[in-house]
Amino acid sequence: MEFAEKLKTLRKDSDLTQQEVADKLYISRSLYAKYESGIAVPNKDILEKISLLFNVSVNELVSYEETTLMVVEEHNTREKLKNITLITSLVICAIFIIFYFIPVFQVYSYKYPAPAGQQPERIMTLMSSFSLLNSKGVPLGNITLGFCVIEIVLSILCLTIFNKRKIVVRYIAYINFALVVFLIFMTVAFSCGYSF
C-alpha cells in the first residue's frame, strides 16, 4: 500500500475529515488533499507530525522508495531556493551597475567669476553616481562597483559548476552579497547627500 492510500485509510479509521487533519498538522486542506491523492509528498517535519497524530511509526507510513523520493524532492527544493538566491543577487548587482552610470542626480554649481554686483549664475547638471562620487573624491562607488562585478562572477560560477567547490563558492558569494548590500546602501546615501 502506498503512502497516499495509507494516509487516507488512517484518517478514515480515525473518523476525521481532511480539514480536521489539516488543522491538526497546521497546513491547508488543499495541501493535505494533495498528500492523500499522491500529487505531493510531505517533508520530514510534516511526516513526523502525521506519524504522531495517527500513532504509527514513519516506517509504517512510507516505504523505502517513497522515503528516497521525498529526500530527493526536498534536496531539489533546497537547490532551487539556493539558485533563486544567487539569481536574485546577480540581478540586484546588475541593476546597481546599470543605475550607477545613469545620470539621475541634479547637481547645482555656480559660474564664477560673476559680473560685479550680481549673483553668480546657477547651473544645474545631471550626474550619475559614478561621476558625482568621483568628482567629490569618494572611492566608495568604485569599491561597490568592484564588489558587484565579483558577485556577478561568483553567482554565475555557482550556477554553472557542479563539483565540491560549488559549496565554498556559494558561501563566498553569500558573504560577498551581504557586503554588496551594505556598500550599495552607503553609495546611495553618499550620492544623495552630495546631490543636494
Residue 48 in this model has a pLDDT that exceeds 90 = no
Provide the pLDDT for residue 71: 67
Of the options 2.130.10.10, 1.10.645.10, 1.10.260.40, 1.10.1740.10, the CATH number for the domain spanning 3-62 = 1.10.260.40
pLDDT (tens digit, 9 = 90+) per residue, 161-189?
877 778 888 889 999 999 999 998 888 88
pLDDT (tens digit, 9 = 90+) per residue, 6-25?
888 988 989 999 999 999 98
Provide the pLDDT for residue 113: 76
Name the residue ranges covered by the structural domains of the chain. 3-62, 79-113+122-195
State the DSSP string of the chain.
Answer: --HHHHHHHHHHHTT--HHHHHHHHTS-HHHHHHHHHTS----HHHHHHHHHHHT--HHHHS-HHHHHHHHHHHHHHHHHHHHHHHHHHHHHHHHHHHHHHS--EEEEEEESSPPTTSPPEEEEEEE-HHHHHHHTT-THHHHHHHHHHHHHHHHHHHHH--STHHHHHHHHHHHHHHHHHHHHHHHHHHHHHHH-
Confidence tier at 128 by pLDDT (50, 70, 90): confident
Provide the pLDDT for residue 36: 87
